[in-house]
Amino acid sequence: MRSRSASNASATSSSSDSAENMQIIVKLLNGETIPLTLPSNTTLTTLRNLISLRLSLPAPSFRLQHAGHHLTSPSSPLASLPANATIDVTLPVRGGGPKKIRCTFKDCKDAAQRIVGDCSFCQGQFCGKHRMLEDHKCSGLEDCKKESHERNADKLNSERTIVVKGI
């Protein structure tokens, strides 16, 4: 009888250990994978330190990703990750100047022209082919026409000659 109760006790203790521990898979830069069994309260900083010891790299020289998202909060526990999660070790992105501003007209991938390609009515940025209001079918085209009509009418009224009768 005692052997049965001892085996039941060991089974329950092993199941409680597995509930407190979680297994994650770390995929290294060279494609090698390392399965790790860690306590569920392990922080991201501790995991980074473990990986840096394994890779012989300083911890700030690599990044950790899970499902395409960077793991950035150092104090967050790994329990927030799903069971058997795969964590990728990647290098930080360096360089890369500012991206070219592309034309906002649908299906156009040309570079937008600076200053002359900026539309003040729809706030879009357009290439040489689509920089005119009519070409990119601007939503502010009617406002532009009304504004230019009012401007021209004001100019004509200010230049109007007045005929004095009775001279």
**Which tens digits make up the pLDDT trace of 113-127?**
888 888 888 888 999
**Predicted TM-score (pTM) above 0.75:** no
Residues 112, 101: contact at Cβ < 8 Å? yes
Of 62, 90, 118, the one marking the end of a domain is 90
Same structural domain, 85 and 141: no
Residue 144 to residue 153: CA distance in whole angstroms = 14
**Which tens digits make up the pLDDT trace of 133-163?**
888 888 878 888 888 899 999 998 888 777 7
Same structural domain, 86 and 104: no
The total of structural domains in the chain comes to 2
167 belongs to a structural domain: no
> Residue 155 sits in which domain range?
98-162
* pLDDT of 116: 81
Angstrom CA distances, 71 to 5, 43, 74, 133, stand at: 44, 11, 8, 44
Q: How many CA atoms lie within 13 A of 95 on its CB side?
A: 1
**Which tens digits make up the pLDDT trace of 46-102?**
888 888 888 777 777 778 888 777 777 766 677 677 778 888 887 776 766 677 888
127 belongs to a structural domain: yes
Of 74, 90, 106, the one marking the end of a domain is 90
